[in-house]
Amino acid sequence: MSEQQHKFVLDESEMPTHWYNVVPDLPAPPPPPLHPGTREPVGPDDLAPLFPIELILQEVSQEQYVEIPEAVRDVYKQWRPSPLFRAHRLEQKLGTPARIYYKYEGVSPVGSHKLNTAAPQVYYNSLHGIRRLTTETGAGQWGTALSYACALFGIECEVWQVGTSYDTKPQRRTLIEVFGGQVHRSPSRMTQSGQAFPEDHPGTLGIAISEAVEVAAQADDTKYSLGSVLNHVLMHQTIIGEEALRQLAKAGESSVDLVVGCAGGGSNFAGLAFPFLREKLAGTQDPTILAVEPTSCPTITRGQYRYDFGDTAGLTPLMKMYTLGHQFVPSTIHAGGLRYHGMAPLVSHAVDLGLIEGRALHQRECFEAAVEFARTEGVVAAPESSHAVAQVRREALACKETGEEKVIVLGLSGHGLLELGAYADFLEDHLADDPLSEDSLQAALAHVPTV
Ligand SMILES: Cc1ncc(COP(=O)(O)O)c(C=O)c1O
């Protein structure tokens, strides 16, 4: 067997020093968020009750690059630069001539990409003497990341966890508590937004966001933190793609054909994809860029591109995005982090411009591909990440048919070692596919406000 290189690593000193902001490079400016009351574009003052000024400025930034603060880089260095692997064994198993690389974010202390934005968000809040941060969590990965980041910077963390995930993943709750966070089942009885639903409601990310925003808006010493969707969150994640580009160069790949990530709110996907999109727009590379979502929550592939609320109660600004309607209640599939009714406005805008495409997959196919991935590469992917794994498998098998030696980059956003219950359901054949019916989709879309 010839000597093969399996992983491409960067030294700490080679870690990117700046995040990338795609906005100034896009061929058309993204539509602005609108105030939920006046329906005028929101200004910094509207966001000030929820976010520190640094994040508000990043949200509207026109700068192509924003420097990563020293204190944040110091946190990143605990696990960054994260490795880029060449999936030789998977390629061999599939019999594909494609070259598959995966950028693995599961090496972070909390097991996912979410710490890339939790660290800077908490850091900026810490500069203003904020006592407490509130947030939502779906699968639990975001709550875990924020809880750990809060522990690092001495801030309290209060998490509203989507009901189904709270009920089925007690270990995730424990992990958040180990890091010092406090967890509430959402819908809770503590907020008006939660009280609008029965206590045993399965919950949605939209409801959990409403609860966390409501609490933050009512206390001066408390701010809110969002784990996806917003421009600044996506920008913090671009360190993934910036590192991947450097690592691919080390692997001798000067251009890639396909970039694939899973998309819930869009942050890990954009974090990997936007630096490649920069290269595409500059004409130096021409990758096809795919965002993969579940068929049961098909925001890009079946939603509408229009203004909608980011939360169920309608407390957030109206954002122009692909949406299934802010009252949409997705089925209780295992990829909790992909059960969100909307998609990041920047990802939505890029889809609308024809720069990015969506794909939707059933969860059984995703787990099947993830099990194969585990048995070849040794990594148990998070159920969210398994959507990207399954799409890459499809693409690699297509290359087998055509003989194309495509270079494929897969975003592996996290590990699934706390999601083994989902894997057990799959292995024991208890997992069902649950596509969204046209009637349910139309009923949910009927609640989208007319702007
Ligand atoms: C491991 C993992 N991947 C992906 C996602 C989806 O979020 P996003 O689309 O913002 O990356 C989540 C969300 O919880 C997650 O935990």
Are the C-beta atoms of 451 and 418 separated by less than 8 Å?
no
In the sheet with 7-8, reading across from the earlier edge strand, the strands are: 7-8, 84-86, 99-104, 407-412, 258-262, 288-294, 357-361
265 CA → ligand 1 middle, Å: 7
Point out the ligand 1 atom lying closest to the alpha carbon of residue 382. 1
Kindly give the number of the ligand 1 atom that is closest to the alpha carbon of 233. Answer: 10
| Helix, strand, coil abundance in the chain, percent, nearest 5 | 40, 20, 40
CA of 149 to the centre of ligand 1 (A): 17
Predicted confidence at residue 1, as pLDDT, reads 53
**Pocket test residue of 225, 229, 235, 267 for ligand 1, highest count of atoms within 8 A of CB:** 267
Residue nearest to atom 7 of ligand 1 (CA): 264
> CA quadruple 64, 123, 106, 422: dihedral positive or negative?
negative
Query: Which pLDDT value is given to residue 3?
Result: 87
Give the torsion sign (CA, 425, 331, 137, 262): positive
Closest residue CA from atom 4 of ligand 1? 384
Residue nearest to atom 14 of ligand 1 (CA): 337
Residues with Cβ < 8 Å from 371, sequence gap 6 or more? 423, 426, 427
- 3-state DSSP call for residue 363? helix
The string of pLDDT tens digits covering residues 141-187 is: 999 999 999 999 999 999 999 999 999 889 999 999 999 999 999 99
CA–centroid distance, residue 3 to ligand 1 (Å) = 35
Domain boundaries defined on the chain: 8-14+69-111+232-445
Cα radius of gyration rounded to whole Å, the chain = 20
Spans of the chain, pLDDT less than 50? none
How many A from CA of 337 to the centre of ligand 1? 5
Ligand 1 atom at minimum distance from 137 CA: 14
Whether residue 425 contacts residue 431, with contact meaning beta carbons closer than 8 Å, is answered with yes
Amino acid 198: pLDDT: 96
- The residue whose C-alpha atom lies closest to atom 16 belonging to ligand 1 is 141
Q: What CATH number does the domain located at 8-14+69-111+232-445 have?
A: 3.40.50.1100
Residues at CB less than 6 angstroms from ligand 1: 112, 138-139, 141-142, 228, 262-269, 337-338, 382, 384-385, 413-414
Query: What number does the ligand 1 atom closest to the CA of 237 have?
Result: 11
45: Cβ contacts below 8 Å, ≥ 6 apart: none
- The residue nearest atom 1 of ligand 1, judged by CA position, is 414
The ligand 1 atom at the shortest distance from the C-alpha of residue 140 is: 14
Ligand 1 centroid – CA 307 distance (Å): 23
Q: Can you give the pTM of this predicted structure?
A: 0.97
